[in-house]
Amino acid sequence: MMRFLFAPLALCAGLVLSGHGLAAELPQRWVSAGGALSEWISALGGEAHLVGVDTTSQHPPSLKALPSVGYQRQLSAEGILSLRPDVLVGTEEMGPPPVLTQIRKAGVQVELFSSKAEVQAVDQNLARLGQLLGAQAQAQALAANYRQQLDALHAQVRDAQAERPAPGVLLLVGHAGAKPLVAGQGTAGDWVLTQAGGRNLAEHQGYKNFSNETLAALDPDVIVFSDRALADEQALQALLKENPALAASRAVREKRLVSLDPTLLVGGLGPRLPSTLQALATSFYPATPTPSNP
Amino acid sequence: MLQVEGLYLRRGNQPVLHGIDLQLLPGQVVGVLGPNGAGKSSLLSVLCGELQPDRGHVTLQGRALGDWPGQARAQRLAVLPQVASLDFAFRVDEVVAMGRLPHATGQRRDAQIVEAALQAADALHLLDRSYLALSGGERQRVHLARVLAQLWPGQDGATLLLDEPTSMLDPLHQHTTLDAVRRFADQGAAVLVILHDLNLAARYCDRILLLEQGRCHAFSTPQAVLTPAALKAVYGIDVLVQAHPERGHPLIIAR
Amino acid sequence: MRPRVRPRTLFVCLGGLCLLSVWLSLALGPVSLPLLDTLRAGLRLLGLPIAEDGLQQAQMILGQIRVPRTLLGLAVGAVLALSGVAMQGLFRNPLADPGLVGVAAGAAVGAAVAIVGGSWLGGMPEALAPYLLSLCAFLGGLAVTALVYRLGRRDGQTSVATMLLAGVAMTALGGAAVGLFSYLADDATLRTLTFWNLGSLNGASYERVWPLLLVAVAVAAWLPRRAGALNALLLGESEARHLGIDVERLKRELVFCTALGVGAAVAAAGLIGFVGLVVPHLVRLLAGPDHRVVLPASLLAGGVLMLLADLVARLLLAPAELPIGIVTAFIGAPFFLVLLIRGRT
C-alpha cells in the first residue's frame, strides 16, 4: 500500500532513494537468512512478520513451515522478491553479493548483522532488530539478560578454575558418527568450549579431520559431540562405533561425553546459547554446585 | 607432374630410402612394388610431403613441394591412404564432397563431380548410405571417389598417389578400381599406385618401380621389370612369366 | 541410415525453440508477473514509449534480473556447446568433452585460489570479489590449457593423443589442487567453493554478461568459418593436410576457442557440466555430422538447453534455487548413458 503511494515520489527521487521512503514505516514482511537472527526475531515477538527463512533457520521449529529461500550464501534474487519482503536480514555471510545488489535495487531493505562470536555483536544485533521491529525495550531487556547470564557463567567458571585446572576438551562435529571434524582455533565451536571453561586441545585453525590415532593421543577429559544426522544417544553410539580409538580416552572411560546442538555453531550467537554454555560448564566442572537453571 | 631426385631418407640411423629418382608424367600410371619393408609407404609419405627427405627434393610442377600453399597444392595433388579412419556418420556423398574442399567450384558443380567420381569408383549406389554402415571394401571405394573428386576431371597437372587401393577389394572391384584409375590417367593425370598384386601391376601400370630395401631395383615397363630373375632377387620367389594370351602384358605364375 | 532432419527444418525448429525458451525465461520466475506487464515492460526496456505506471516491478524484475540472466544462459549454453563441437572435432571422437584439455580443471583451481586465498587475506573487498573470482577462473583455465597444448607439441607438431593424456593428467592434478584448497578452507569458504563448482546463473548482471557475450560472439563468428576444415579433420590429420588444410593452425584455433569460451563461461557461471558433450551429440543424431550444420545448430540448442535447465533450477524449489550444474547433469548423465548403450548396438 505504502509502496504504491510512494512509487511516483520514488520515481522522481531515483532508485537510490526509494528505500528511504519506506524507512519511516516499520518493515512488515521479513525474510531472514541467518539461524541466530531468526531465533532473535522470534524471541522479540516478530515471528509473525517472517515470510521466508533460509536453511540455517531451524529454531524455533515452527520456522520450518515457512518458505525456504535456500542456503544463506546462495540466495536467489527473484525467489526472495517473490515473497514481497520489505526487509532482508542476514549476517555478513549472506550472498552472493550480486544477488544482494539486485535485491537492494528492487527497493528491498537489506540489513547485514554481525555473525561474530562476541557479546558486543549480540548487543548491536539486538538493538538494530529491536529498532526494525519496533520492540526496542524488549530488545534491551533481552540483551541485558544475555549479558547477565554470560557474566554469571564467567564468574562460575573463574571460581571453578581457581580450584582445579580446566579440562582438556575436544569438539567433534560429525555426520552419523563418521569422520568427525575437530573444531580448531577461531571457530564458533572453540568459542563455545572456551566460554564454558574448557581448554580446546585442538590447536589447528578451522574444522579439520583427525586420524584415529591423533584423537586417541590427545586424550581429552571431555568430548563434546555435535551430530547433524543423529540425535544424542544414537549419535554417541555411532561416534564410538566409527572411531574405536576414542574408547581408550579418559573422556569415554569416565563417560564424560556431552552432545551439542549443531545449529548453535552457525550464524552467530543466538538466544539459546547461554543455557547451553551453562550446561557445558556444568559437565566440565561436575562437582561445582549447580546454580539453578534459568 | 611430380618429380623426385636423389631421394635419401633415414629413420633413426637406418636408411629407409636411397638414391630414388622418379618422375610421374601426365597420362602415366606408375606402380610401386616391393616386399614388406622395402620402403613403399615411406616413399609415398615423402612424395606427398608428410615426411621430409634427408637428401634430395620433391617438386610438383617444377616447384618445391613445400613451397606450395596448402590449398593450391591440394588442387593438384591428392593422396589416398591405406586406411582412413572416420568415426562420424557422414553420408557417402558428404565424404566424397570433402574432396571438393580445396576448390571453390560451387555447390551445383561439386554435386555433379561427386556423382561422377562415385560412378567412376563403382560406388554410386552407395550415395546416400551412412559411411559407418559400409564394409571395408566399400569404404575404400568411397575414399577413392573422394580423391578422384579432389582432382576431377584429372586433366594434365593433376597428380594422384594411391597406397594399396585394392587391399580390401574383391577381384571384381580390384579391376573396376584400377580401371577407374587407368581411365583417370588417360584423361591426363599422373598416377602413382602402391600394389602388392604383381599381375594387377602388370596389367594396369605403364611403368613399375621395384623397390628392394629402400633402393630402386628396377624402374621400367612391366615387361622389363617383371622378370623371373628380378622377382627371385627381390621377393625370393620362383615364378614363370608368360604373356597374357589376350592382352600381351606379362602374367606371373608362381612355380 | 536413419532419416536425417533437413538442415532448414532443424534451424527453423531450433530458432522457434530458442525464441520460445527466451520468452519463457523472461516470462517465468518465482515472482509471477502478469503476462501483459511483462510484455509492456519488455517493450519499454527496448525503448518504446510506453507509460510506466504500474510497471516498476515488472521492469525491475525483467531489466535487472531476467534479461541479464537470459543473456547469460544463452551465451553460456552456446559457448559450451560450440566448445564441445570443437573438442569432438579436434579429438575426432564424438564423446569428447570441452573439459578434456584441462580448461575446466584450470578454471576450478583458479576459482579455488580466489575463494580460499581471498579468505586468507581476510576477505577481498566486497565490490571486487566477484570480478576477481571470474578473472582467476578465466586465467586458470587459459593457463592450464596452454600448458596442455604445450605438452602436446613436439617438433612443430601437436600430438592430439599426447594432449588428451596431458589433459587427463592436468585434470587429475587440478582436482587434487582443488581438494587441497578445500581441505585448507574454513567451513564457510568451503560452502562457497562447493556451490561455485555446481554452477549457477543466479545473480547475473550486465557487467558479468558483457565479457562473456563478446567471447561468445567471437567464437560463434569464428568457428563456423572453419566448418569445412573441421569436417576434413574428422578424416584424419594427414587426410586433412592433403585436402589443403593447415592442420596445425586449425588445432591451435580449436584449442584457443575452447579455452577462451569455456574459460569465460566458467568464469561467469561456474562449472556447468554435460552441455558441451550432450548438445553436439544430439544435433549430430538429428542432422548428421556436417559441421556446417552442427556448429550453428549446437549454438542454438546449447542456448535452449541452458535456458530450460535454468527454468527448472529457478522454479523447482522457489523461492530457493537449485544450482544449474545439478540440473544439467541430471539431464545429461542419463542421456549420455542412453547414447553409450545405443552406441553398442
Shortest distance, CA B108 to any CA of chain C (angstroms) = 17
The continuous run of DSSP H or E covering B111 comes out as: helix B107-120
With beta carbons less than 8 A apart as the criterion, state whether B139 and B131 touch.
yes
What does the pLDDT read at residue A24?
A: 56
Q: Are residues A134 and A172 in the same domain?
A: no
**pLDDT of C126 over the 90 cut:** no
Residues from chain C contacting residue A228 (CB–CB below 8 Å): none
Q: Which residue in B71, B95, B130 is closest to C244 by CB distance?
A: B71
For A230-255, write each residue's pLDDT tens digit: 666 777 777 777 777 777 788 888 88
The CATH number for B115's domain is: 3.40.50.300
Average pLDDT over residues A120-144: 94
Of all residues in chain C, what percent carry a pLDDT higher than 70? 95
Is residue A211 in a domain? Answer: yes
Q: Are residues A109 and A205 in the same domain?
A: no
Sheet containing B14-24, strands listed edge to edge, beginning at the edge strand earlier in sequence: B14-24, B2-11, B55-60, B63-64
Under an 8 A CB cutoff, do A107 and C29 touch? no
Residues from chain B contacting residue C290 (CB–CB below 8 Å): 90, 94
What does the pLDDT read at residue A187?
A: 82
Please list the residues that pair with B219 across neighbouring strands. Answer: B209
Q: Are residues A127 and A175 in the same domain?
A: no
Under an 8 A CB cutoff, do C314 and A78 touch? yes
Average pLDDT over residues C180-198: 80
What does the pLDDT read at residue C89?
A: 94
Whether the complex's predicted ipTM is more than 0.90 is answered with: yes
SS3 of residue A225 by DSSP: strand
**pLDDT of B179 over the 90 cut:** yes
Domain around B67: 2-254
Question: 10 Å Cβ neighbour count for A14?
Answer: 8
Residues from chain C contacting residue B70 (CB–CB below 8 Å): 241, 244-246
The CATH number for A58's domain is: 3.40.50.1980
From residue B68, give the alpha-carbon distance in Å to each of B52, B59, B64, B75, B214: 15, 10, 7, 11, 27
Is residue A72 in a domain? Answer: yes
Is residue A146 in a domain? Answer: no
Shortest distance, CA B143 to any CA of chain C (angstroms) = 10
The set of cell numbers assigned to A86 is: 520489505
What does the pLDDT read at residue C123?
A: 60
Is residue A157 in a domain? Answer: no
Comparing A130-144, B166-180, C30-44, C291-305, the range with the smallest average pLDDT is C30-44
Rounded to whole angstroms, the Cα distance separating B237 from B252 reads 11
**pLDDT of B98 over the 90 cut:** yes
Is residue A151 in a domain? Answer: no
What does the pLDDT read at residue B13?
A: 87
Is residue A162 in a domain? Answer: no
Three-state SS sequence of B54-78: CEEEEEECCEEHHHCCHHHHHHHEE
Residue at which a domain ends, from A121, A140, A159:
A140
Range with the largest mean pLDDT of A88-102, B101-115, C174-188, C267-281: B101-115
Is residue A223 in a domain? Answer: yes
Q: How many domains does chain B have?
A: 1
For B129-160, write each residue's pLDDT tens digit: 999 999 999 999 999 999 999 998 888 889 99
What does the pLDDT read at residue A15?
A: 39
Under an 8 A CB cutoff, do A106 and C200 touch? no
Q: Are residues A127 and A251 in the same domain?
A: no
The distance in angstroms from the start CA to the end CA of chain A is 43
Chain-centre distance of CA A10, in angstroms?
37
Domain around A196: 167-283
Domains (ranges, CATH) in chain C?
Answer: 7-344 (1.10.3470.10)
From residue A194, give the alpha-carbon distance in Å to each of A188, A190, A202, C99, C250: 10, 6, 12, 47, 64
Q: How many domains does chain A have?
A: 2
- More confidently predicted of C62 and C56: C62
Q: Which residue in A76, A80, A97 is closest to C129 by CB distance?
A: A97
With beta carbons less than 8 A apart as the criterion, state whether C296 and C219 touch.
no
The set of cell numbers assigned to A134 is: 519496533
For C78-117, write each residue's pLDDT tens digit: 999 999 999 999 999 888 888 888 898 999 999 888 888 8
**pLDDT of A288 over the 50 cut:** no
Rounded to whole angstroms, the Cα distance separating A193 from A168 reads 10
**pLDDT of B218 over the 80 cut:** yes
**pLDDT of B32 over the 60 cut:** yes
Closest to C266 in 3D by CA, of C138, C86, C173 = C138
One-letter amino acid for residue B72 of the chain: A
**pLDDT of A4 over the 60 cut:** no
What does the pLDDT read at residue A230?
A: 67
Rounded to whole angstroms, the Cα distance separating B125 from C276 reads 36
Residues from chain C contacting residue A55 (CB–CB below 8 Å): 320
Is residue A113 in a domain? Answer: yes
Cα torsion A212, A214, A219, A220: sign: negative
For A194-243, write each residue's pLDDT tens digit: 999 999 999 888 788 888 788 878 889 999 988 766 666 777 777 777 77
User: What does A42-76 look like in DSSP terms, one character per residue?
Assistant: HHTT-GGGEEEE-TT--SSGGGGGSPB---TTS--
For C131-158, write each residue's pLDDT tens digit: 788 889 999 999 999 999 999 988 778 8
For A87-102, write each residue's pLDDT tens digit: 999 998 888 888 999 9
